[in-house]
Structure formats: structure tokens, C-alpha cells
Structure 1
Amino acid sequence: MPAPKKTGRRSLLVTSATLLTLSVTAPAALAAPTPQADPTATPPAHMSQVGGVRLGQSGTQVNLADGVPALPKDLTARSWIVSDAESGEILAAHNAHWQLPPASTMKMLFADTVLPRFPRTMEHKVVPADMAGIGAGSSMVGIKENETYTVHDLWLGVFLRSGNDAVHVLSSMNGGVEQTVQDMQAHAQELQALDTHVVSPDGYDAKGQVSSAYDLTLFARSGLQKKDFREYCATVRAQFPGGTAKNGKGTSTRETFEIQNTNRLLSGDTDVPVYQGIAGVKNGNTTNAGATFTGVAERNGKVLLVTVMNPEKHEHNEVYKETAKLLDWGFQAAGKVNPVGDLVPPKNVAQSTAQPGAASAGTQGTGGSGSKPVASSSAGGGSGGVGIALGVAGGLVVLLAGGAFLVNRRWPLPDLMRRRSRP
């Protein structure tokens, strides 16, 4: 696939005179709803209003006007959202806060939480306890006990093959599955992803495990600020270590085998071409969740995030087809349609912008174009040229002198796409 034309990086400088007032904590009305153990086919009458009042309403939310293209027909997903990944503006949404089973898109939160904790060159020898508790019928990359893998290998297994075995090994390294679930839940709260209840780190069907199209988009946006996250989710194929075989003369050889990304907009399929400008992020599919997907794409200098959950039309690759339609619409509508809400910033950024001296120019969560959130990675790790120009020292966010913030610097997605393997 030819690389998209590289665009100049642009940044948005917000001075103290135009800073937004962002809530330090979500109001009681925006508290996380009780997780639904068994989601029905009908969205609840009242959903979270985080990011905007209209996002708490059921059905499709979009501001159609002269010059704004009509939304695609025959969209069947229970929930979906189209957002500008840089500004955080939500261009359109459908049941954005409906709590639904996320399947392996939950691995975006897992990666955003755990990925910064281990260097990619670190090696780990897998023991039987690392593989305990993997659900029956799980997707696997093929990790073998008593073999040694680098952290880089393991993350390739997570992103390309959605390997629950790789997730469990990394969770074991992180203190175990229970600890990792707690870490993920805490990170979800930090990101203000209040629809999410984590039960298993790999997204395997579990009672009470839910997220929403809104929250999954927050996870993707936060994760994509990390260079390694962007690299892994944009990799089409890679070589993965196999088993070690002993040779006749007392030596041994470690074989490798090829793995390919199961994101069909990235790798393509018979009925789904590679999407122009696609650069990740993560797909999922389980019996309870159906098909889920969050994708990021760049075209003509615009970066969009689309999340689609559980299309009711059960055709092959339907989740990718509906995502592609929404991406096409978003690229046509960007700059023409007024947003219906925003992607909120993590709590640490919201708190920092609410400090004394920051001028007020709007209110978070009103759901109009007046709310402009910023983005930051609260889990640590390199930002890779994207995010907020904030210094972090001793766990405290330090504001830049003069009350100015550099927000939403352009991601180097064109460079990233040229680096990755082509399908």
C-alpha cells in the first residue's frame, strides 16, 4: 500500500486567555452507571453524559446541515462513534455510552496500562503458572512453556494475533491477573472511562465485563500517544519465535513462524481491501460481544478514530465494512459538521487545567463545539511526539510557564506507516 503524503506537523497553542475549565472530578450525574451483566438489544434510557449531554441519549447523534454529507446507510452496529483523534471532537455517535461486552478491544486498555512497565528487550522464560486461567477457545499466538520470549515478542502476539496467552504471560510479569485487572480498572478511571468494568485483562467473555464505544476510543487515543503502541498496532506481519529443537550434534535451533495482524482494514481480506491511511488499532470477537473494532486512519492531514461495536448484520467482516463507511463519512464531514461532544482528557490533565490562573472559556461535558479536551498519557511511557507538553516530576503535572499548553501535536502516522510491513 503506498504511504500517504506526509503532512507538516501542526500544533495548537492555547494561551491562558483561552484555556478551558475542565472539571477536576466528574459530577455525580456523570458517574459510571452500574455495569450490565447481560446487555440487551435495547440501549438503556439513561446513559453517561461524559463528554456531552447528547452522548447520553440513545440513537444517532449528529448535526446535519447544508454541506454536511449524510451518514452511511445500513449501519447495524449497536454502538459506534466517529471522532477527530487530535482535537477530540466527536463528529457523530450512536449509543456512545452503551455498556457492552468489549471482546479483545479491551486489550487496548491492557496495553496502555502495562506496556510502559517493561522494556521491549527484556526477556522472560515462560513457566506453567504464567499460562494458567486462559479461557477455553481463546485466540492464541502459540507461546510455549519453558521457552524464553522478549517483551517485544509478547506484544506482537497481543496486537497481531490477539493472543490471550501473551496477555497472561505479561499479566504474570505484572504481578498476576488479579493485580493487572486492578491496574487496568484504575487506569480506566484515570482516563475517565467510566463505562468500563474490567474482569479479565484479555477481553475474554466474563460476567459484568463491559465497556463502551466512547471508552474504547479513549483507550485508543491514550495508547496511540505511545510510540511502541503505535508501532505494534500498525504492524501487518512479523516473525514469532517457535519451539526449540535439538540437533544431532548437541546443538539446538529455535524456529520462527509468521504471524499476521487480524485487523482486516490493515491486512486486507477477500471482501475487505486495506483501508487507505489505516494505522491500527484493535479488533475483537467473542460469542457474547459479537464483533468489535476501533480503528485509526489518517488522510489529508486529518486523523480520525472510529469505534464500532456488535453489528447486527452478521455478514463476513461486517464490523470492518461499517468502520470503513464511517471513516469515509468522517473524512468528508470533517471541518463541515459541528461536533456533538468531546473526548474528555484524563483526570490529571483536567486537574492541571483547573488550577488557579487558568482562564475559563467553556465547560467540560456540555457536548458542543465549545468543549475542547486535551490528551495525555497517564500510564507513563514515551509520547513519541504526541500529547501534551507537560513535564511530569514526582507524579505531579507541571504547567508550562505563562499558562500556555501545547496540545494535540500531530502524530507521525505517515512515518509510522512507511516503516511498517506492507501487505
Structure 2
Amino acid sequence: MSAPKQTTRRSLLVTSAVLSSLALAAPAAVAAPKPSDSPSASASPSATPPASMSSVGGARLGRPGTQVNLASGVPVLPKDVSARSWIVADAETGDVLAAHNAHWRLAPASTLKMLFADTLLPKFPSDTKHKVVPADLAGIGAGSSMVGIKEEETYTVHDLWLGVFLRSGNDAVHVLSAMNGGVENTVKAMNAHAEELQALDTHVVSPDGYDAEGQVSSAYDLTLFARSGMQKKDFREYASTVRAKFPGQTKKGKKGKKVRESFEIQNTNRLLAGDSDVPVYEGIAGVKNGNTTNAGATFTGVAERGGKVLLVTVMNPEKPDHNEVYKETARLFDWGFKAAGKVQPVGELVPPKGTAQAKPGANPSGEAGGSGDGGSGTAGTGSKPVASAPAADGSSGIGIALGITGGVLVLLAGGAFLVNRRWPLPDLVRRRTRP
């Protein structure tokens, strides 16, 4: 797939003495939700959102209901959006253009696999091979989506990630979790990474997003996961892949020779692959869908049009129509592309703690001065930047803004510098409009 050349983007340095890429992240400004104070994901969610929710990213994002700054020249939001929660954001600047119950903690379904991938992708080279043993597939929930992994067969990590992204395979998730030291260890790593991303509405119980007691996330957090993940080249590749060949089971062929055939898998993201009632969305580049009994349908998508890259997350549409989550996402994308550059944002997607910077004169909670719920407004010394994927022009996303190559950043002549808030999304984000 070809990608248009990106425009040159300014990169500003961060005020800091030294940043170590191996240090632990700084403490969060807001405590992560505990299972005891999170709504149960094993029961139906309440019909209405809480009166007060997290204000990470701005005070208005913590209010129930729709938040948007309508003014002259700003298009009206689509009226036929029935989702319990949704958000429209600029993927590169982080501006939240509009939102509805953005911080409502709901069951996330397989959209949680975005956090799983963002956490584990860097740990295993794509050509690593793994032979599946029965224990790897233990504990998969009944009725789970599967890609078709077989015991005693060998798969590459690349194969497994295709299974995660295209078929939302819980079997692939469990094999990768086994390679990572087990489900418990993987859940712990995912919760730690969510905290590092300041996704404080999220509590992980099952790495595949299968319904579990206390497992919650929010439209805001899912958008953070997608934004962080899309900084990684492998993540972008898997998220934008429409179809691929997947290894099958080894069988005896002619003359007793063992033969292993493959079968085609197609991405279940209907805005990427299309369906009878949903066309491929112009400029779509991923990222992940989900559907469970308790979560309903959930989806986070990223698309580019006219030089703008937007992220839209939709959780649990109340309309029962076929593919409704994709239809509502498409309508919100359409609105966002028309409104971009005209509408004043109602909040922002905060950066990871390791790169946390506020707009000049404001903190991540969207209010002037002081420290808000999202962090301190200055880079956390000794914390590890999350996003540093190579850009199409050879630069490295937000990594170049930090000026880090796995080492340290030295304060320049005592000057005050700010991290550039733009997160360029290179390569496969700016993809062709049809698979």
C-alpha cells in the first residue's frame, strides 16, 4: 500500500534533565478504578451514566450527556446516534471534537485487544515461532471468537497477531499470553500499561475482552489505546490488513507426506472490509471491533481524509439494526471531518505519563494552571515514552519530539521547551480507500 508524503511537522523538545527509557512511570494523579468500585461487567449496565465521571482530558468530558461546542459554521451532530458512549477526536493533535458520556465505564468486549496488542507487541519479534501446547489454550471463554489455532502446531508471532486483529481470535490471545508468562502476568502488564497511558477508567480481568466481573473501560480510554497503538508500525500493519492467509492443520498428503495448508481470514472490521449494508469507509485504516453479551457492539476506528486523521469510538448502540455500531461510527466520522478546523474542542486525549505535557498555560484537565486529573503538565522525569514508531519520512512519531533513541535527553542551555502535541500517524494510516 502506498502512502502520500506527510507534511513536515515541527518537533519541540521537552523540559527535563534526564529521561531514562528503562525507568518506571511516575505515579498517577488519579487512582485507577478498583474492581470493587467499578460497575460489574457480568450484569447489565445501568441505563444512565453516573452523574460524575473522570475529568481526565477536561472537565466537560466527565459530565454526562453530549458535549460539543456548536457555533456558527459548525455542522450539527447526527441525530441518529444511539450509542451509550462515543467520542470523536483528532488523532494527531489529541483534540476531542465532541463526546457523549466519554468516561462512562462499560464492558469493552474485544476492543480491549487494542490494549493487549499495545502492551505485548514490542515483546516478541514477528518471526518468533511457538509450538502450541494444550495449556496455552486453557481458560478460553465459551462462545469466544476463534481464529482456529490447533494444539501441537507451530505458529509465528506474525500469524498470531493476524489472528488477534483480523478474526479477534481469543485462542491467539491466549497463546500470546502464555508466551508472556501466562494470563495473570499479561493482565497485570495490561493494567500497568493502561495506567501509564492515563487510561484510568480501565480495569482488565481477561486479556481478550471476554465478559468478566469488574472488567471495564470507556470510550475515552479505548481511544487512548488506539492512538498509542497506531504509533507502532506493526500495530498499524495488522489493524489495516483486510485479509490474509493463516496456517491450517498439518495433514498427511499424497504418499504419506505431511502437508500443512492455509486458509484465508478476513478482517471483521466492517468499515475496513465492507458488508452487504456497510460500504468500506473512505480513508479507513483500522482499528478494532468487539461484541459480547454485556458490552453489546463496540468499535474504535481511525480514518484519514483531507489531511486530517480522526479517531472515533462507539460503545453499545441501543438500536438493534445490523452493523449499527459501524453505521453510527461512519456518521460520526462524517461529522468530524466536516467539523475539523471549525469546532472548538471540548477536551483532549492526554499523552502517556512518560511524555505528559499540557498546552501552554493549561493542564491535562483542560483548565488553566495547576495540576489536573490527567497529570502534571510537565514530562515525568525517569518515565518511559510509549509511542516511538518510525514515521514514513524516517522520523519517529512522538519519539522525535522527545529526541530519545532509547537513551537520555539533556536539557538544552536551561531553555524551556514543550513537547509537540502532534502525534503524526505515518505509513498505513494514510492508505488507499478500498481493500
Query: Number of residue pairs matched?
Result: 404
Q: Are residues 367 and 202 of structure 1, via their aligned partners in 2, closer, same or farther at CA, if it must alter by over 3 Å?
A: farther
Which residue of 1 is the match for residue 193 of structure 2?
187
2:281 to 257, 275, 296: 275
Deviation (angstroms), 1:379: 4.9
| In 2, Cα distance between equivalents of 1:374 and 1:9 | 27
| In 2, Cα distance between equivalents of 1:336 and 1:278 | 22
Which residue of 1 is the match for residue 208 of structure 2?
202
Native 8 Å contact 1:7 1:301 kept in 2: no
Which residue of 2 is the match for residue 151 of structure 1?
157
Which residue of 1 is the match for residue 426 of structure 2?
412
Which residue of 2 is the match for residue 241 of structure 1?
247
User: What pairs up with 1:268-307 in 2 under 5 angstroms?
Assistant: 268-307=274-313
| CA displacement, residues 206-225 of structure 1 (integer Å, 9 cap, x when unaligned) | 01100000000000000000
Native 8 Å contact 1:9 1:409 kept in 2: no
Native 8 Å contact 1:112 1:219 kept in 2: yes
Native 8 Å contact 2:236 2:428 kept in 1: no
Which residue of 1 is the match for residue 19 of structure 2?
none
Q: Are residues 399 and 307 of structure 1, via their aligned partners in 2, closer, same or farther at CA, if it must alter by over 3 Å?
A: farther
Is 1:398 paired with 2:409?
A: yes
SS in 1 for 2:54: coil
| In 2, Cα distance between equivalents of 1:374 and 1:339 | 21
| In 2, Cα distance between equivalents of 1:105 and 1:410 | 22
Which range moves more in the overlay, 30-39 or 45-54? 30-39
Native 8 Å contact 1:78 1:311 kept in 2: yes
1:347 to 342, 353, 357: 353
| Equivalent AA in structure 1 for residue 71 of structure 2 | A
Which residue of 1 is the match for residue 102 of structure 2?
96
Deviation (angstroms), 1:35: 1.1
| In 1, Cα distance between equivalents of 2:11 and 2:208 | 38
1:178 to 180, 184, 209: 184
Is 1:74 paired with 2:88?
A: no
Calculate the TM-score normalised by the size of structure 1.
Answer: 0.88
Native 8 Å contact 1:233 1:280 kept in 2: yes
| In 1, Cα distance between equivalents of 2:425 and 2:342 | 22
Q: Are residues 42 and 246 of structure 1, via their aligned partners in 2, closer, same or farther at CA, if it must alter by over 3 Å?
A: same
Query: Aligned Cα RMSD in Å?
Result: 2.8
SS in 1 for 2:268: coil
| In 1, Cα distance between equivalents of 2:155 and 2:313 | 32
| CA displacement, residues 292-318 of structure 1 (integer Å, 9 cap, x when unaligned) | 000000001000000000000010000
Is 1:35 paired with 2:35?
A: no
Which range moves more in the overlay, 373-382 or 65-74? 373-382
| In 1, Cα distance between equivalents of 2:282 and 2:51 | 37
Native 8 Å contact 1:55 1:367 kept in 2: no
SS in 2 for 1:417: coil
| In 1, Cα distance between equivalents of 2:265 and 2:140 | 20
Which residue of 1 is the match for residue 362 of structure 2?
362
| In 2, Cα distance between equivalents of 1:400 and 1:132 | 50
Calculate the TM-score normalised by the size of structure 2.
Answer: 0.86
Native 8 Å contact 1:108 1:220 kept in 2: yes
| In 1, Cα distance between equivalents of 2:77 and 2:33 | 29
Deviation (angstroms), 1:123: 0.4
1:325 to 310, 328, 331: 331
Q: Is there any run of 5+ residues in structure 1 with no aligned partner, and where?
A: 18-23
Q: Are residues 77 and 400 of structure 1, via their aligned partners in 2, closer, same or farther at CA, if it must alter by over 3 Å?
A: farther
Q: Are residues 409 and 98 of structure 1, via their aligned partners in 2, closer, same or farther at CA, if it must alter by over 3 Å?
A: closer
Deviation (angstroms), 1:170: 0.2
Which residue of 1 is the match for residue 316 of structure 2?
310
| In 2, Cα distance between equivalents of 1:180 and 1:414 | 28
Native 8 Å contact 2:299 2:326 kept in 1: yes
Which residue of 2 is the match for residue 106 of structure 1?
112
| In 2, Cα distance between equivalents of 1:45 and 1:406 | 34
Which residue of 2 is the match for residue 20 of structure 1?
none
Is 1:265 paired with 2:265?
A: no
Native 8 Å contact 2:285 2:429 kept in 1: no
Deviation (angstroms), 1:41: 1.4
| In 2, Cα distance between equivalents of 1:235 and 1:165 | 19
Deviation (angstroms), 1:393: 6.8
Q: Are residues 60 and 3 of structure 1, via their aligned partners in 2, closer, same or farther at CA, if it must alter by over 3 Å?
A: farther
| Equivalent AA in structure 1 for residue 116 of structure 2 | F
Native 8 Å contact 1:239 1:256 kept in 2: yes
Q: Are residues 330 and 14 of structure 1, via their aligned partners in 2, closer, same or farther at CA, if it must alter by over 3 Å?
A: same
| Equivalent AA in structure 2 for residue 344 of structure 1 | V
| In 2, Cα distance between equivalents of 1:192 and 1:241 | 37
| In 2, Cα distance between equivalents of 1:186 and 1:382 | 20
| In 2, Cα distance between equivalents of 1:338 and 1:48 | 21
| CA displacement, residues 252-302 of structure 1 (integer Å, 9 cap, x when unaligned) | 111000000000000000000000000000000001100000000000100
SS in 2 for 1:398: coil
| In 1, Cα distance between equivalents of 2:263 and 2:9 | 42
Q: Is there any run of 5+ residues in structure 2 with no aligned partner, and where?
A: 16-25
SS in 1 for 2:297: strand
| In 2, Cα distance between equivalents of 1:325 and 1:168 | 35
| Equivalent AA in structure 2 for residue 244 of structure 1 | T
* Identity in percent: 67
Deviation (angstroms), 1:246: 1.6
Deviation (angstroms), 1:71: 0.1
Native 8 Å contact 1:109 1:188 kept in 2: yes
Which residue of 1 is the match for residue 23 of structure 2?
none
Deviation (angstroms), 1:12: 3.5
Q: Are residues 206 and 183 of structure 1, via their aligned partners in 2, closer, same or farther at CA, if it must alter by over 3 Å?
A: same
